[in-house]
């Protein structure tokens, strides 16, 4: 075998040139932790900031022990820990969709626990916790996964721990492995689950009658887990949006090179439009739809189509441009009030006429449905392309709901814009391409920001565990001014929401606020971006060199930062 | 306005943090050019290497002046130019699909021409040359576009200059702008066009009776413009494959994190599978299809489906894996012999029965066609999903051909694998996702390799023009051993090919050779990659730091390099 072939074989299994190099990249730590080589444990204390929601009383009744212990007060660093704690056995798991930086949470946690405590990884998410799939994470493991993307070291799943039987299984896992603490790295639902577990495991689990601590870490590429002033952003958002922004920037540059296509790009991000807004700020496309604004202004599908069609016409008539980019948030459909009404009517109608509907031939179904819709919904239904009608009449999920995320919104909009242009301005060229950027962004190598942020989150989680805390989500605030580890009481974030006819405890998703500085900046600039090309290409994420230390633009604007640089440990 | 908002506004129009930083990145130049700050003009000479094709005699008759001048001999550097040439007026254009590094060809060319010659850019590709859309490129322009991706500085198009009227228009543009040389930056067809123009413009164009020089530069992300020993790779291939490899690597990491999907990824690259092979070497997926191998082994669609289905079953039964990645080259369909036969029969059939076919209702058409196909084609036709049948019966292009590139091969394969698994092993989980990576890769910021390679290509183009050469394609060989500028006589590459019933001059596309070292390495490793996850994540392209100097793996292997590093100027 040639020398080179041997080298290439050695690059298999996570040993690419990049992966080998990035493992040696040093990460800054917040000053509170002392020296990066040997970060110190911390003492936390309340400074009197108490959180509440509209349902705090109900929540206090459901979570009596954790609320009594925390008083829903935010914990900030009060100094180094008085003494070194040893002998703790801690299990960490990933929950929900993957996000860049999860591995570094484990690395930071391992570093803080040190050699005199034990860290276990839980394989395959919450389900693995139920099944007791634990293994010890070594220093060598941590060195291997440092600064790498994905959740593949442990795997993840979407199991919600809800039933009494499941809670009992968790208890058995705690006993079997003699655990002192569980760390749940996940989004809003997973952190709600962490709160429920913290309450359930609060006492009486171990032989001496003590409980098992539960600490959460804020993960989601969607960016909808935010707490003003306390949690600027969830981890994974920066990496995902930088990946999507590079791709969208490449495509904008392609439109200006090839001079012939309008590209409609749908972006992952669930309900909230944080991802779409961040990508728009990075690349400055001709048209960007923000779901929250569409809902607020009660725009119809027709009005959205008209808005895009006008941009197409104006760019051609005023500047001769036959190209452009339209950014579409994944959750758009549900934020268009009339679509929401139509879907609700359809869900009802199909539930009530299930047998009659099922007996019909496929081509008779649209008329059957149309005759039973309200006038407004019938008109909207009639305006939709055939393939969307088929999807709207397709099988429901187990709750009788339409799977809205499967609707190809980017194709729907471009087809309707095309149809509108045929009557509005048939002389305006309009050739299209479609994209959905999603899975590509969840497991990329973390940006330097996500790598540093998550490592410090891991250190914070570890410090909270060593201090014996439970029922908190770790956070690092002040990301552009040195970084401050803190702990947010989970019960201080929880509301009660009616879902599928039942009251459920939830951490409310943070949506894009129209009065937020990032949204204000966007609305101030978008007319200029629509009128003529003034896009930028954010380029590939750099881990070394002069372009490595960016922070998301939405975060920087909303936090009132003075520059686009994160400054952890400075 | 806040300080930050003002900064963000200043990042519009190609002034992102990355774009601003990358413009200052120094580029190495081949030793032949002397100091990078002031590269010197060169003297070229033949060392007796003469190129020929099976049609060299026909070509010599069609291109008498350029063949007589070059003797189809390769030109290598013989030393610095004896004297400085000034007063040349040179026009450069992009032709065909964009590729990363095109801007740097212009920058290298501008640098070599210096202040005492004039460089014009042609707007909008070959069509712009016909229309005389020229403007002078300044040093400030070159500084702005250096190391940026895309062709957006000039734009591009796909016009082929073929008719006598078009040649006359080019002549008029040359006269109107008093041009001495034209530079065509393009792929195989564009370089064939360059050869035709070189012959046409060889003499009698300018007032003194002299001609206009034409020099080509080898661009295409597809990697199918290669000349063994002389042109290791076209520019843009490295950047595109690194972008696709990062995305495919992210998705592989996602499969191992989420533990539930098979992702079918179609990769741009036209007929040849170079792009797919390179991405496979970078990420090591479970299954990779190489069109050239499928054609060589005469595999049926059913055999390909069986091969993927087996991998799905084996991974689950042996390792419990429910996930994987399948890479599919864009041009696959045309390399499956039975599909090719079916499509040819359909093209014929629809041409001969056009009126009868058009008169039928849509749902009667498949049966009408099936009854008229050969037995083998009818069987294959019957095995295809409905949406593929509709596409196969859809409208033909202006030559009566099916637009094969529109067939969603990734979806076709995954649907057929799913259907096969339902009978073969219904207990094996098989949930799928689909992707097409294409436009995202053409206009990304160039890798350091593509940036350096294209800058040196531009210097070489400039040196050839200053020496008065015409009818050559510039190249840089020895990319892992210092870099050697050279010139390939275009007529030495040209064949005659029958296209749409007419003889045409073409540069034959380089396909993947099954006996090439890169393909051999791949076939030696793929069973291991299929059996269990041993993928790697190549990560985002780095322009600074320890991971910046990679060269494509296929190029390194095929060139017999000892390491994965390019070494221009060392």
3-state class (DSSP) for residue B13: coil
Strands (E), B51-136: 73-80, 89-94, 118-122, 134-136
Q: Which residues of B are catalytic?
A: 222
What's the confidence (pLDDT) of residue B1?
A: 55
**Closest residue to B16, CB basis, from A440, A537, A557:** A537
User: Is B250's CB within 8 Å of A257's CB?
Assistant: no
Q: Is some CB atom of chain B closer than 8 A to the CB atom of A538?
A: yes
**Closest residue to B19, CB basis, from A124, A537, A545:** A537
Q: Is some CB atom of chain B closer than 8 A to the CB atom of A158?
A: no
CA distance A248 to B139: 29
Q: Is some CB atom of chain A closer than 8 A to the CB atom of B480?
A: no
Residue closest to A463 by CA, chosen among A186, A144, A35, A79: A79
What's the confidence (pLDDT) of residue B312?
A: 98
User: Is B18's CB within 8 Å of A243's CB?
Assistant: no
Residue range B34-44: mean pLDDT, rounded: 97
Give, for A181, the enclosing helix (H) or strand (E).
Answer: strand A181-186
What's the confidence (pLDDT) of residue A399?
A: 73
- pLDDT tens column, B294-332: 999 999 999 999 999 999 999 999 999 999 999 999 999
Residue range B85-111: mean pLDDT, rounded: 98
User: Is A444's CB within 8 Å of B246's CB?
Assistant: yes
Query: Which residues in chain B have Cβ-Cβ distances shorter than 8 Å to A544?
Result: 542, 544-548
Residue B396 in tokens? 């033909």
**Closest residue to A442, CB basis, from B254, B263, B441:** B254
What's the confidence (pLDDT) of residue A1?
A: 55
Return the percentage of chain B with pLDDT > 90, whole number.
Answer: 94
Q: Is some CB atom of chain B closer than 8 A to the CB atom of A4?
A: yes
Alpha-carbon A116 to chain mean position: 34
**Closest residue to A537, CB basis, from B21, B149, B538:** B149
CA distance A148 to B539: 9
CA distance B467 to B463: 6
The alpha carbon of residue A562 is apart from the nearest alpha carbon of chain B, in Å, by 5
Residue closest to A494 by CA, chosen among A62, A77, A137: A62
The alpha carbon of residue A99 is apart from the nearest alpha carbon of chain B, in Å, by 9
Q: Is some CB atom of chain B closer than 8 A to the CB atom of A406?
A: no
Q: What is the dihedral of CA A412, A414, A420, A422, to 10 degrees?
A: -130
Give how far Cα A295 sits from Cα of A162, A181, A334, A375, A530, Å: 32, 42, 9, 21, 21
Query: Which residues in chain A have Cβ-Cβ distances shorter than 8 Å to B479?
Result: none
Q: Is some CB atom of chain A closer than 8 A to the CB atom of B348?
A: no
Residue range B513-532: mean pLDDT, rounded: 98
**Closest residue to B444, CB basis, from A250, A259, A440:** A250
Q: Is some CB atom of chain B closer than 8 A to the CB atom of A105?
A: no
Exposed e or buried b per residue across B475-500, where buried means at least 16 C-beta atoms within 10 angstroms of its C-beta: bbbbbbeebbbbbbbbbbbbbeeeee
- Average of per-residue pLDDT values in chain B: 96
The alpha carbon of residue A39 is apart from the nearest alpha carbon of chain B, in Å, by 27
Residues 39-78 of chain A with CB under 8 A from chain B are none
Q: Is some CB atom of chain B closer than 8 A to the CB atom of A326?
A: no
User: Is A257's CB within 8 Å of B15's CB?
Assistant: no
What's the confidence (pLDDT) of residue B363?
A: 87
Residue B106 in tokens? 């212009």
Q: Is some CB atom of chain B closer than 8 A to the CB atom of A14?
A: yes
- pLDDT tens column, B109-127: 999 999 999 999 999 999 9
User: Is A534's CB within 8 Å of B13's CB?
Assistant: yes
User: Is B534's CB within 8 Å of A444's CB?
Assistant: no
For B553, residues 6+ apart whose C-beta sits below 8 A from its C-beta are A8, B278, B281, B282, B518, B564
Evaluate whether A27-236+446-511 and A238-441 have a shared fold: yes
Topology of domain A238-441, CATH: Rossmann fold (3.40.50)
Task: Please list the pLDDT of chain A residue by residue as tens digits (570 residues).
Answer: 579 999 999 999 999 999 999 999 999 999 999 999 999 999 999 999 999 999 999 999 999 999 999 999 999 999 999 999 999 999 999 999 999 999 999 999 999 999 999 999 999 999 999 999 999 999 999 999 999 999 999 999 999 999 999 999 999 999 999 999 999 999 999 999 999 999 999 999 999 999 999 999 999 999 999 999 999 999 999 999 999 999 999 999 999 999 999 999 999 999 999 999 999 999 999 999 999 999 999 999 999 999 999 999 999 999 999 999 999 999 999 999 999 999 999 999 998 999 999 999 988 999 999 999 999 999 999 999 999 999 999 888 777 777 877 889 999 999 999 999 999 999 999 999 999 999 999 999 999 999 999 999 999 999 999 999 999 999 999 999 999 999 999 999 999 998 777 889 999 999 999 999 999 999 999 999 999 999 999 999 999 999 999 999 999 999 999 999 999 999
For B15, residues 6+ apart whose C-beta sits below 8 A from its C-beta are A536
CA-nearest residue to B93 within chain A is A257
Alpha-carbon B283 to chain mean position: 20
User: Is A546's CB within 8 Å of B263's CB?
Assistant: no
Maximum Cα–Cα distance across chain A: 81
Strands (E), B403-478: 431-437, 472-477
Which member of A55, A180, A188, A222 is catalytic?
A222
What's the confidence (pLDDT) of residue B400?
A: 74
Q: Are B241 and B282 in contact (CB under 8 A)?
A: yes
For chain A, domain boundaries: 27-236+446-511, 238-441
Residue with tokens 């393939």: A387
What's the confidence (pLDDT) of residue B500?
A: 75
CATH of domain B241-441: 3.40.50.460
**Closest residue to A247, CB basis, from B152, B440, B528:** B440
CA distance B478 to B561: 9
Residue B145 in tokens? 């576009």
Looking at domain B15-236+446-507, its CATH architecture is 3-Layer(aba) Sandwich (3.40)
CA distance B245 to A209: 53
For B570, residues 6+ apart whose C-beta sits below 8 A from its C-beta are B28, B482
CATH of domain A27-236+446-511: 3.40.50.450
Beta bridge partners, A136, equal A120
More confident residue, A143 or B502: A143
Q: Are B333 and B413 in contact (CB under 8 A)?
A: no
Write the DSSP assignment of B293-308 as a string of letters.
Answer: HHHHTT--HHHHHHHH
Q: Is some CB atom of chain A closer than 8 A to the CB atom of B537?
A: yes
Residue range B536-551: mean pLDDT, rounded: 97
Q: Are B482 and B570 in contact (CB under 8 A)?
A: yes
DSSP 8-state class, residue B429:
-
Write the DSSP assignment of B485-537 as a string of letters.
Answer: EEEEEGGGTEEEEEETTEEEEEEPPPPPPTTSHHHHHHHHHHHHHHHS-----
- pLDDT tens column, A235-289: 999 999 999 999 999 999 999 999 999 999 999 999 999 999 999 999 999 999 9
Residue A417 in tokens? 């814009």
- pLDDT tens column, B358-407: 999 988 999 999 999 999 999 999 999 999 999 999 888 777 777 877 88
């Amino acid at each position: 075998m040639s020398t080179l072939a041997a080298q290439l074989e050695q690059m298999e299994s996570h040993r690419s040139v990049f992966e080998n190099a990035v493992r040696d990249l040093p990460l800054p730590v917040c000053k509170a932790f002392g020296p990066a080589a040997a970060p110190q444990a911390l003492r936390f204390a309340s400074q009197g900031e108490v959180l509440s929601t509209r349902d705090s009383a109900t929540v206090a009744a459901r979570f009596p022990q954790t609320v009594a212990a925390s008083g829903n007060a935010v914990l900030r660093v009060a100094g180094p820990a008085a003494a070194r704690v040893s002998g703790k056995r801690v299990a960490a798991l990933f929950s929900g969709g993957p996000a860049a930086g999860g591995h570094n949470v484990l690395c930071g946690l391992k570093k803080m626990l040190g050699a005199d405590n034990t860290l276990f990884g839980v394989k395959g998410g919450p389900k693995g916790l139920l099944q007791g799939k634990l293994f010890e994470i070594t220093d060598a493991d941590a060195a291997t996964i440092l600064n790498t993307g994905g959740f593949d070291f442990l795997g993840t799943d979407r199991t919600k721990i809800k039933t009494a039987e499941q809670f009992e299984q968790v208890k058995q896992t705690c006993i079997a492995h003699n655990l002192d603490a569980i760390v749940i790295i996940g989004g809003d639902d997973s952190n709600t689950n962490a709160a429920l577990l913290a309450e359930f495991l609060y006492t009486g689990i171990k032989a001496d009658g003590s409980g098992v601590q539960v600490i959460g870490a804020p993960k989601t590429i969607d960016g909808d887990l935010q707490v003003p002033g306390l949690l600027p952003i969830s981890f994974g958002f920066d990496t995902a949006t930088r990946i999507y922004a590079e791709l969208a920037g490449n495509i904008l540059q392609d439109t200006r090179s090839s001079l012939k296509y309008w590209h409609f790009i749908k972006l992952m991000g669930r309900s909230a439009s944080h991802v779409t807004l961040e990508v728009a700020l990075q690349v400055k496309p001709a048209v960007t739809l923000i779901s929250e604004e569409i809902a607020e202004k009660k725009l119809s599908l027709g009005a959205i189509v008209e808005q895009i069609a006008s941009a197409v016409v104006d760019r051609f008539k005023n500047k001769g441009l036959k190209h452009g980019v339209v950014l579409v948030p994944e959750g758009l459909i549900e934020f268009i009030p009339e679509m929401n009404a139509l879907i609700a009517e359809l869900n009802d109608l199909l539930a009530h006429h299930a047998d009659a509907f099922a007996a019909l031939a496929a081509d008779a179904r649209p008329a059957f449905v149309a005759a039973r819709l309200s006038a407004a919904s019938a008109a909207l239904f009639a305006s939709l392309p055939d393939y969307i009608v088929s999807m709207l009449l397709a099988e429901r999920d187990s709750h009788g709901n339409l799977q809205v995320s499967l609707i190809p919104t980017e194709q729907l909009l471009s087809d309707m814009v095309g149809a509108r242009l045929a009557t509005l301005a048939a002389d305006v060229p309009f050739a299209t391409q479609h994209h959905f950027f999603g899975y590509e962004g969840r497991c990329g190598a973390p940006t330097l920001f996500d790598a540093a942020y998550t490592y410090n989150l891991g250190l914070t989680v570890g410090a909270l565990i060593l201090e014996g805390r439970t029922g908190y989500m770790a956070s690092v605030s002040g990301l552009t001014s040195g970084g401050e580890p803190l702990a947010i009481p989970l019960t201080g974030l929880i509301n009660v929401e009616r879902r599928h006819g039942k009251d459920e405890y939830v951490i409310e998703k943070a949506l894009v606020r129209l009065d937020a500085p990032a949204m204000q900046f966007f609305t101030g600039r978008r007319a200029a971006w629509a009128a003529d090309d003034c896009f930028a290409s954010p380029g590939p994420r750099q881990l070394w060199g002069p372009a490595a230390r960016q922070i998301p633009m939405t975060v920087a604007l909303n936090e009132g930062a003075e520059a686009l640089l994160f400054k952890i440990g400075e």
